[in-house]
Structure 1
Amino acid sequence: MRVIGWLLLGLLAIFAAYCLLLAVSALLVSTKKEYRHDSPFYRWLLDSSIRLAVPILRIHVDVRGLEQLPQDTPVFFVGNHRSNFDPILTWYVLRKYRIGYLSKAENFRIPLYGRIIRRCGCTAIDRENPRNAVVTIRAAADRLQAAEGSVGAYPEGTRNKAAVGLLPFHNGLFKTAKWAHTPIAVLALDGTEMIAKNYPLRSTRVTLSVAGVLTAEEVDAMSTAEIGAKVRALLEAALPDARSQTFEGAGI
């Protein structure tokens, strides 16, 4: 019993040291500075945190269709958005693609996490000011063109709290891929809205499927509205409830 006690104490000490490392590292990140390049150290911090959190939160992820993804080029990842866990689990499954997200400004004010994602290629997008949003989209396209990593975004622009159907798309986001001449991978996530409801009493099974991939040539040949329609069709085909509620497209 004493050995078990010492082991538990050692694990607790390691966890406390790791939490201290997270806190100190986060405080070293300026909230007033735009970081245009990834930090391998901060990406490791975020990767390791997510890899610890997934089993603790009792999440099981079924992954389908990864063989469709390009292997030798950055990718613009888009998908449906039902939960705050969507980008976390996408990051978890697709670590090797070094995704940096276009995200709402509020996410960068989350304690610790909001600072760390600033150093991992994530950028706040101004949803109220189209001119500022275009500047952010251009920066994301530059990231793709420079092969610094992939980019992720949610065309719905916010979480679909109804957890059925698809909200209106902000088709301007697809300029990211057009300007970078980059393929678009469409990801369908199902079940993430149940994680917070189930924990801690029950585990949650989530499905992440690659609904389809638009090649760079296809992206170049299509308008952003056409891309939005294609992405919506792929998601509707991949998600069992997506056809039950659809909306007209939105602006940027």
Structure 2
Amino acid sequence: MHPARSSRAYRNVARVARPLLYAITRRDWRGAEHLPTDTGFIAAGNHLSNIDPLTFAHYLYDNGVAPKILAKSSLFSVPVLGWILRVTGQIPVFRGTSDAGKSLQAAEVALGEGECVAVFPEGTLTRDPDLWPMLAKTGVARLALDTRVPVIPIAQWGAQDLLARYGKVFKPIPPKRVVVLAGPPVDLSDLYDLPRDAATLREATRRVMAAITAQLAELRGEEPPEGVYDMRKQARG
């Protein structure tokens, strides 16, 4: 069964990608009951490996959702990959340019049309030495507070065994176990009417990342470390 809101191009890409992903992964999909079916929503996940947007999208697609992923704009120039991103309606992120705000505008439009927008709030692969989520950027908070759609925290673990963080060697054999867990929406309702200042955005971001981290701790069967890794300080704060 294809997601109801998927385009023909999206379904055609999925017909090729899903059998490949089925061949190289052993999937443990959990928490799908938390994915909204009657509204647009933000799917917010941790970022372990350059392959995990695929496993993240695979989880969502298998559970009836065709996500629009916020992806760095340079990927749209890569042969084949860029074409796939464009025809499936993924959303380019123009970092550090005058077009930086366009990605959030496009995401807001998609959410208003009932789509799922997938976001990795850290903005890049985690720098935490033990692969826990690091201090995130506030784009997810601004998007969530401006649209007031549900934010579903989704943790994944195992994609890094297919392709290590910063790794160059893809390891599809033997197939790797990939576990993905979605949780209930993050409660941001008390922040909706507050000024969009730095304190409000940081608090919303903190709540989203805390929910993702708690779910990742459940998947890993470990306690997360004290403090959150800050890439600027190169240490946990």
TM-score band w.r.t. shorter chain:
0.7 to 0.9
1:194 deviates by 0.3
Richer in helix (by share): 1
Q: Distance in 2 between matches of 1:219 and 1:45?
A: 40
Cα pair distance change 1:42/1:242, threshold 3 Å: farther
Q: Distance in 1 between matches of 2:85 and 2:70?
A: 11
Question: Where do 4+ consecutive residues of structure 1 move more than 3 Å?
Answer: 215-219
Q: What's the RMSD between the two structures over aligned residues?
A: 2.6
1:177 deviates by 2.3
**What's the % identity of the aligned pairs?**
23
Matches within 5 A, 1:1-252: 40-56=7-23, 58-95=24-61, 96-129=64-97, 131-147=98-114, 149-160=115-126, 162=129, 164-196=131-163, 199-214=171-186, 217=189, 220=192, 223-240=200-217, 243-244=224-225, 246-248=228-230
Q: Distance in 2 between matches of 1:139 and 1:201?
A: 38
Task: Tell me which residue corresponds to 1:23.
Answer: none
What residue identity is the alignment partner of 2:104?
A: I
Larger Cα Rg: Structure 1 or Structure 2?
1
Cα pair distance change 1:89/1:201, threshold 3 Å: closer
8 Å CA contact retained: 2:51, 2:163: no
Superposition TM-score, scaled by structure 1 size: 0.74
8 Å CA contact retained: 1:101, 1:153: yes
Q: Once the two structures are superposed, what CA deviation does each residue of 1:124-172 show, in whole Å capped at 9, x if it has no partner?
A: 112223x52222201210111122x211111111112645122221112
8 Å CA contact retained: 1:143, 1:150: yes
Q: Once the two structures are superposed, what CA deviation does each residue of 1:74-125 show, in whole Å capped at 9, x if it has no partner?
A: 1111110011222212222212222111111222123212112112221211
In structure 1, runs of 5+ residues without a counterpart are: 1-37
Superposition TM-score, scaled by structure 2 size: 0.78
Task: Tell me which residue corresponds to 2:167.
Answer: none
Q: Once the two structures are superposed, what CA deviation does each residue of 1:32-69 show, in whole Å capped at 9, x if it has no partner?
A: xxxxxx9822201221122121123x201111111122
